[in-house]
Structure 1
Amino acid sequence: MTNPSYFESVTSELKFRDRFVTEGAKLFSEIPHVAASEWGRDHLFACRVIRRETRHDVLPILSRHESSSDMKLFPEIYEFLRGPDSTYRSQSEHGLVRDSGCGSSLAQIWAAMAMVKGGKDLRIERREESSGDESDNTPDVSAKRIRRNTAQEYYVNSTDIQVGSSSPMAESSHGHSSIGYVDNETHMFLSSPEDETLRLASCVIRHILYYAPPQDSGHLQTVIEFRDAKRRLTGTTASLGRKIVAIDDGGLNRRKVQGDIFAIDKERVAIIEAKAQFQCVENGRPTISDSCLAQMTCEALVARLSDPYGELKKGSAILIHAAQHYMCFLQFDISDQYLSDFESASPSTFIYVTSTNWFDLSSRSGREQVVKNLSCLMCWAM
């Protein structure tokens, strides 16, 4: 019998202890030393990870920065929330930038969204055809555009997907998830390369950082910016001296005016982790797989271990996780006591993980929640 995902099942200290014994889990000092990409369920138990059961619209550490609903927003944010025209998936990025009148950063979002949601339909199929002379064995390779089916039968909006007689998922009582009932086969069919997921996430985050409060001014002494470059993080554990290495998919950093330049003074405002698609769907509900949660745990742990200047406020690391056109935010709370305790023979502390709901970037409600979380994140980090 397959165990339920760690993310959904280990949501309290009592459940952790029960599953630890039932599955014969090991302590951190007992598991083999492997790269972050090979971390899995065993490492989640070894690191004593507990996912807090309640999901939020805004991470708790950011919630005190929530602004009033009547706050004035720049037109660029209103247009982002309003969404693209219905024809955006049939246009080129060049055309969207030059002709749509929505600005380059917003046009790039819709172009990236089109590739993620309809990438297979936007690619040219190449076929070998006869030149008409049957004696000529040299094939004529010509490019032909795939015929478009305007009904787009292969695409089903996640908010409308049903399996059997099941109904789309109701919104969580803990928040407003913008994601619906997901059929795993349909989801996998629509999957795009991981780089396309990352491209969409970076375009969305950049646009919000450019125009949303508190960065809706052109004259700031401190700014939060997106980092494209993947970064190798290295940390050493306190007791056993284990060297742990993790590589992220980019992140957010903070820059301040120092003299006549903007210098980076905080490198890890948030860490980005992108996947090509949901790696785990349980009963039509997408969730974070054991391997993905373990990888993000490793990244958060290394960030805490290699934080000599105390950049991570109150021991909390924030990760932004993207999968296709969905996004969620996670808060990893790792105390100083935990760092000195988790390798011991009888550890007593835990890593606590809090998450938001999944937000669908192709829906207005999903975009609203992403803007809210990133605006709060900017306020928190400044």
Structure 2
Amino acid sequence: MSKPYFDAIRSERAYRSSFQSEPANDLTFSLSNLQTPASNWGREQLFTCHVVISPAQDTLLPGYKNDHITFDHSISDEARRQIDNFFQGPDPNDLGQSEHYLVHKYGTSLGQVWATVAAVKARRSGVADLDVIKDAIPTNNEGTPESKRLRYNTDCKDFVDSGTLQIGSSSPTSKLLGGTPDSSIGYVDQAPTRDLPPEDNTVRLISCVMRHILYYTQLPGSTPIIEFRDTRQRMSLQVLDLGGEVTAIDDGGLCLKVEEENGRFTVARNMVALLEAKRNLKVIEGKPVISDECLSQMTCEAILARAVDPLDEFQDGRCVHLSFVNLATD
């Protein structure tokens, strides 16, 4: 069983060695392999694009690399309190409450954060049973029954443990349960796909978290200013001699806006960071790993972001995803 590409290909020497040792009938190294949506990319496309994993570099996004980042001491006491409350986390008993309740207790942005945390953690089996819902709703013939509060199971068994997840691509083409290995990596402790929360829940969680942080770490009236971009961005590149195009769609991201003379804010950089949310995780021997499918999808998006680049954002050829994978394109 081959090691994940992310762990195995750490140098040009490792790339050449692995390239030569890959079974010929398993991989077909051809540019024609790129004519597929990013969600269908895998190990073949990584080798075709000559991807080499480099050591971790700085922790700043490329757009900030030439800026001196310091703590803004003029931040208000309320902003400090909101950030501190975020780090403190919610009362565990509150994760079974409604979003309405959480917003009133923790404030609008932080309440939405904790509501989405609960949505992401809870498996579908934690949703109230339909029979319970029917019993709680009065019918025209029954008059007004005794009030019944819907009860949600908040026991830990209905939450997804990180040890039972697998890292995979957004739109996996084949996922076998029960520890059956796929292309290059075996599975360990998988949660059935039907029990996992929808990927949109993950996107909303990241959106709420990023918004809460951005609201209270940037001074009112600041320019330029970073905001979260909800709109999914489709990127495509027509490849000469292939008769097709390479396409990818991100899940949102961060954009930078500047104030113009007329007082209106316009987007100066639309891809400060790209978001690619994952519905599940792949785990080997209890350790989460970045699968070939996951890495290849992010690689495709990085390549397209660099190639399309309508706002000339990637002059240094680097693209950082919110998945904490730093990708350099030449």
TM-score relative to the length of structure 2: 0.75
CA distance in 2, matches of 1:186, 1:29: 35
Query: What does 1:334-373 align with in structure 2 at a 5 Å threshold?
Result: 334-335=329-330
| Distance across 1 between alignment mates of 2:4 and 2:244 | 27
Matching residue of 2:212: 207
CA distance in 2, matches of 1:290, 1:300: 15
- Structure 1, 266-275 or 233-242: larger mean CA deviation: 233-242
In the alignment, what sits opposite 1:58? 59
Which residue number corresponds to residue 112 of structure 2? 108
Q: Assess if the C-alpha contact under 8 Å between 1:88 and 1:114 holds in 2.
A: no
Identity rate, percent: 35
Q: 1:138 aligns to what?
A: none
Q: Which residue of 2 aligns with 1:330?
A: 325
**CA offset at residue 110 of structure 1?**
0.3
Partner of 1:300: 302
Give CA deviations for 1:240-289 in whole Å, capped at 9, x if unaligned.
786322111111111111122101111111110011111x2111111121
Displacement after TM superposition at 1:184 (Å): 2.4
Partners in 1 of 2:154 and 2:229 — Cα distance? 38
Give the TM-score of the pair, scaled to structure 1.
Answer: 0.66
- CA 1:145/1:299 → structure 2, altered by over 3 Å: closer, same or farther? same
1:271 corresponds in structure 2 to: 274
Other-structure match for 2:20 = 21
After superposition, the CA RMSD in angstroms is: 3.3
Partner of residue 138, structure 2: none
Cα pair distance change 1:145/1:183, threshold 3 Å: farther
CA gap 1:236/1:103 in 2 versus in 1, 3 angstroms = same
Mapped contact 1:124–1:146 kept (Cα < 8 A): yes
- 1:118 aligned residue: 122
Which AA in structure 2 matches 1:95? Y
Contact kept in structure 1, 2:126 and 2:152, CA below 8 Å:
no
1:83 aligns with 2:89: yes
| Greater displacement, 251-260 / 238-247 | 238-247
Structure having the higher strand fraction is 1
The within-5 A match list for 1:141-180 is: 148=153, 150=155, 152-155=156-159, 158=162
User: Where does the alignment leave 5 or more consecutive residues of structure 2 unmatched?
Assistant: 136-147, 165-186
**Equivalent residue in structure 1 for 2:190, among 185, 194, 198:** 185
Distance 1:262 1:245 in 2: 30
Q: 1:56 to 1:156 in 2, by over 3 A?
A: farther
Query: In 2, Cα distance between the equivalents of 1:92 and 1:200?
Result: 15
Q: 1:18 to 1:153 in 2, by over 3 A?
A: same
Question: How has the CA–CA distance of structure 1 residues 157 and 26 changed in structure 2, closer, same or farther, with 3 Å as cutoff?
Answer: closer
Q: Distance in 2 between matches of 1:78 and 1:200?
A: 18
How far has the Cα of 1:186 moved from its partner?
5.2
For residues 307 and 152 of structure 2, the distance between their equivalents in structure 1, rounded to whole angstroms, comes to 53
Number of matched residues?
285
Cα gap change, 1:64 to 1:8, in 2 (>3 Å)? farther
Once the two structures are TM-superposed, the CA of residue 119 in structure 1 deviates from its matched residue by 4.1
Q: Is the 8 A contact 1:59 1:330 kept in 2?
A: no
2:4–2:292: 8 Å Cα contact kept in structure 1? yes
Distance 1:204 1:232 in 2: 24
Give yes or no for contact 1:124–1:144 (8 Å, CA) kept in 2: no
Aligned residue type for 2:291: S
Q: 1:301 to 1:269 in 2, by over 3 A?
A: same
Cα pair 1:236 1:306 within 8 Å, conserved: no
In structure 2, the partner of 1:196 is: 201
